[in-house]
Structure 1
Amino acid sequence: MPANSIDSYRALALQITCHAVNQASDRAEVFSLIQKTITRLAKQIAASIAFIGSDCRLIVLPEYFLTGFPLGESIPEWAQKACLEMAGAEYELLGQIAQKHRIFLAGNAYELDPNFPQLYFQTCFIIDPSGSVVLRYRRLNSMFAPTPHDVWDQYLDCYGLEGVFPVAKTEIGNLAAIASEEILYPEVARCLAMRGAEIFLHSTSEIYGKGRSPKDAAKISRAVENIAYVVSTNTAGINKISIPIASADGGSQIVDYRGLVLAETSTGESMAAFAEIDLAALRRYRRRPGLNNLLSRQRFELYAASYNQSHFYPANTMQDKNIDRKHFLETQQKAIARLTDLGII
């Protein structure tokens, strides 16, 4: 635990509109649009902190808030048009915001990696108050984008298992990231909790409505089963694409380690989803013996053999080959057929 650990502070799930870059003609125009987004964001962050208070130390931004997502672009086209360099100017600009306000700033972007020149990864990042990127988590489960699992052997050679499931141990707690629909995959959160994660930072862009969705249930479940906070930030709509703007808009929330929703916002751009992160209380809860201490009662040996002998979606399907987007659906269809033949589904 860092010597300057902070027992209590405020976190904000900052719900902002995503301004998509799909209609941009070239990389230069994309960067100009991204700069405008970051300029707007800087003002919104400054105003939000002024309202919440100087103890707001963590701000989580929505999924792909700088660019939107590919709509018809091939993997090489999207990589060239809209993906960030790992040491790119975009991170420098965001780092300046984190430095100015002495905050941890988390978000999600499409990112290039020189180790995998034919691909890109959807990356959750955390920037610390010095302006440095202290965590990169690459989304592991995606329907239409490359993931580390698609180049699994090479990715492990580059980053190891700790790089697949990274946890940043900071003065505001042990931070980990979960991307979008991966909140529905309990194994992702569990592997991060195994490494000490206390606060899951969930950047998402999802449908929000009056009825509780499977993702809402998953946010509470991930919090309870791992005794962890979940700071989940949704988009306030996606502008400049043909899909209606409010299709993914609203419901950003903060869930505590008991599964209680501490704060939640409705639709539109909003800083209403902020709440206290009480690290001292979380750590007391984790160290207290009893029925509710689910994390300490996990018997992983019971399940290890079943996981080891089960093979559903295959690894390494994008190793050393140029892939178009139909590859993802075709791979899933083959997996379904194989599991049907085995009588599993």
Structure 2
Amino acid sequence: MEAGKIKVAAVQMDCVLGNREANLKKSEELVEQTVKSGAKLIVLPELFNTGYRVEERDVEMAETIPGPTVEWMQQLARKHQTYIVAAILEQGLSKGLVYDTAVIVGPEGLLGTYRKTHLWDVESVRFTKGNEFPVFQTEVGNIGLQICYEVGFPEGARVLALKGADIILYPSAFGKARGYAWKIATRSRALENGAYVIAANRTGTEKDVTEFGGGSCIVNPWGEVTAEASKHDEVIVAEIDLQEVIEQRRRLPYLRDMNRSLFAKHYR
């Protein structure tokens, strides 16, 4: 690969509800597929290790960070010299508080976390909101994290882009019923920020009610989909070029031309 170009991947998968061991085993097999393709940044779905509809077991299944799942992620990242991102249930310092938290690890270990700030529907009862938008500087680029439903909130992605993010990641468990929103929003977040978007979504149905939409995708800064998943369990890989981030932001300078002082009055 040329300088500035890297291969990235999204893992699309169904999960076994409430079975961490089975989900980690399956995830590892899928991660191994991406590594064989040369991926240096891999995104897994939201709550991939537990399944999404474990609301009655949130406190029980939540983990500290680091904890079992993050240690598993770190081992894989070191073994394959790659970066891995996923969202899991995080046990808060105060007993009974649970966060929906994205974790990023690399060959050097745990880089940090992002707690979901915008909660969907009954997530507002299940989880505590986060309040930070960190950007992580890595060898593969500056990475910003969002989670699932947040793809529909332009503000979070914009803040990350203004803080230097070249790549915005969305580990997700996005519903099939709103697949139209997923398609539009993933493309829009990339285009309006001149950033790459990697969105890894769930498939399958949980509790005979919640059906996930799949459609995991990798989108370039021009809003063009360069890879999209269509199978139940699948990995997609694409090469990204960070020079394209620079080029797009020069040709379509939304970040430069944004009247920040005007918006500052409205976001207090």
Q: TM-score, normalised by structure 2?
A: 0.91
Aligned residues: 263
User: Which residue in the other structure is 1:146 paired with?
Assistant: 127
Cα distance in 2 between the residues matched to 1:212 and 1:38: 26
Displacement of 1:175 in angstroms is 0.5
3-state secondary structure, aligned to 1:18: coil
Deviations 1:307-341 (A, max 9, x none): 23xxxxxxxxxxxxxxxxxxxxxxxxxxxxxxxxx
Cα distance in 2 between the residues matched to 1:235 and 1:112: 22
Cα distance in 1 between the residues matched to 2:174 and 2:157: 19
Cα distance in 1 between the residues matched to 2:69 and 2:147: 19
3-state secondary structure, aligned to 2:155: helix
Displacement of 1:216 in angstroms is 1.5
3-state secondary structure, aligned to 2:231: coil
Question: Is 1:284 aligned with 2:247?
Answer: yes
CA contact (8 A) 2:16 2:22 kept: no
3-state secondary structure, aligned to 1:14: strand
Displacement of 1:295 in angstroms is 1.3
Cα distance in 2 between the residues matched to 1:183 and 1:207: 13
Q: 1:212 to 1:122 in 2, by over 3 A?
A: closer
3-state secondary structure, aligned to 2:207: coil
Question: Is 1:170 aligned with 2:144?
Answer: no
Q: TM-score, normalised by structure 1?
A: 0.71
Cα distance in 2 between the residues matched to 1:100 and 1:136: 21
1:186-225 equivalence runs, <5 A: 186-208=154-176, 213-225=180-192
Q: 1:111 to 1:304 in 2, by over 3 A?
A: same
1:182 to 150, 153, 172: 150
Question: Is 1:266 aligned with 2:227?
Answer: no
3-state secondary structure, aligned to 2:197: strand
User: Which residue in the other structure is 1:92 paired with?
Assistant: 71
Deviations 1:229-285 (A, max 9, x none): 1100111224xx42258x2142110111010011111130011x2211111222233
Instruction: Return the index of the structure with the highest Cα Rg.
Output: 1
Displacement of 1:6 in angstroms is 5.3
2:14 to 14, 17, 33: 17
Stretches (4+) displaced over 6 A: none
Amino acid at match of 2:247: R
3-state secondary structure, aligned to 1:254: strand
Amino acid at match of 2:7: R
User: Which residue in the other structure is 1:103 paired with?
Assistant: 82
User: Which residue in the other structure is 1:330 paired with?
Assistant: none
**RMSD between aligned alpha carbons?**
2.1
Cα distance in 2 between the residues matched to 1:45 and 1:127: 14
Q: Structure 1 stretches of 5 or more lacking a match?
A: 22-32, 153-163, 309-345
Cα distance in 1 between the residues matched to 2:239 and 2:15: 26
Q: 1:265 to 1:167 in 2, by over 3 A?
A: same
1:151-162 equivalence runs, <5 A: none
User: Which residue in the other structure is 1:161 paired with?
Assistant: none
Cα distance in 2 between the residues matched to 1:212 and 1:235: 12
Displacement of 1:179 in angstroms is 0.5
Displacement of 1:13 in angstroms is 0.8
Cα distance in 1 between the residues matched to 2:156 and 2:145: 10
1:233 to 200, 203, 209: 200
Deviations 1:80-106 (A, max 9, x none): x11011121221112111111111001
Cα distance in 2 between the residues matched to 1:98 and 1:42: 11
2:105 to 127, 132, 157: 127
User: Which residue in the other structure is 1:243 paired with?
Assistant: 208
Question: Is 1:296 aligned with 2:260?
Answer: no
CA contact (8 A) 2:30 2:234 kept: no
Displacement of 1:305 in angstroms is 1.2
Cα distance in 1 between the residues matched to 2:160 and 2:88: 20
CA contact (8 A) 1:200 1:229 kept: yes
Amino acid at match of 1:68: G
Displacement of 1:147 in angstroms is 2.9
Displacement of 1:189 in angstroms is 0.8
User: Which residue in the other structure is 1:40 paired with?
Assistant: 26
1:48-59 equivalence runs, <5 A: 48-50=34-36, 52=37, 54=38, 56-59=39-42
Question: Is 1:256 aligned with 2:212?
Answer: no
Cα distance in 1 between the residues matched to 2:58 and 2:209: 22
* Identical positions, percent: 29
Cα distance in 2 between the residues matched to 1:298 and 1:46: 41
